[in-house]
Amino acid sequence: TVACLCSAFAGVYFEKVLKRPTNDGGQARAPVSMWMRNVQMAFFSILIALINMWRESANRGLTDGLNETGEPMVKPFMHGFTGWAWVIVALQAGGGMLVAAVIKYADNVLKGMATGVSVATGTFASTFLFGTTLSVQFGMGAAMILVSVYFFSNDLPAACGGGEKAKSDEMKKLLLPK
């Protein structure tokens, strides 16, 4: 529950930061690009990673082997980064940019629904590709996600109190004097 609350707060704050108009002394300026916002927000994580790297550099990667002078050999900085590791780094960076684009041009609710649909779709695909067994709980959760996406993206029928006519009639009652 705390993780859900933190995730929701972070999503709403991220949307606010991306969509907030910029002004310079009361005059509107051109909005900051999505790339610049990502760099601004990544700055703090890069700073923390650099501090952690500096702190851990004293005992970094000592191996069992010894060099020519008899001292323990130290692994290089990017030891173990193969081509596949760089593919994962590129995929994560692309995913971050995709999330930023969705937030900029849509909203946090739509991003949450897209994430839910992608989890459900990926898990259904894994049942056919890898033979993953699904529980009843997962089936009920996936059904709730798909139904909520359907209701979010479509108007309710007029019989259920929805539809364009019901909305316009309700707005007329609220706006027009009697």
Kindly give the pairing relationship between strand 72-74 and strand 62-66.
Answer: antiparallel
Structure confidence at residue 22 as a pLDDT band (50, 70, 90): low
Predicted model pTM: 0.55
Predicted pLDDT at 26: 66
- For tokens 């309700």, name the residue: 170
More confident residue, 102 or 145: 145
Predicted pLDDT at 140: 92
Partners of residue 62 on adjacent β-strands: 74
Alpha helices in the chain (DSSP H): 2-19, 34-56, 83-105, 108-130, 136-153, 163-175
Predicted pLDDT at 136: 93
Mean pLDDT of 92-111: 80
SS3 133: coil
Predicted pLDDT at 41: 76
Predicted pLDDT at 83: 92
pLDDT (tens digit per residue) in 52-92: 888 777 666 656 667 777 777 777 777 788 999 999 999 99
Share of the chain above pLDDT 90, in %: 13
Predicted pLDDT at 49: 86
pLDDT (tens digit per residue) in 118-175: 888 999 899 999 998 989 999 999 999 889 888 888 876 665 665 555 555 555 555 5
More confident residue, 39 or 86: 86
User: In angstroms, rounded to a whole number, what is the distance separating the alpha carbons of residues 110 and 83?
Assistant: 34
User: In angstroms, rounded to a whole number, what is the distance separating the alpha carbons of residues 113 and 142?
Assistant: 11
Predicted pLDDT at 62: 59
Q: Would the pLDDT of 110 be above 60?
A: yes
Predicted pLDDT at 33: 77
pLDDT (tens digit per residue) in 135-150: 999 999 999 988 988 8
Closest alpha carbon to 14 in 109, 146, 116, 140: 109
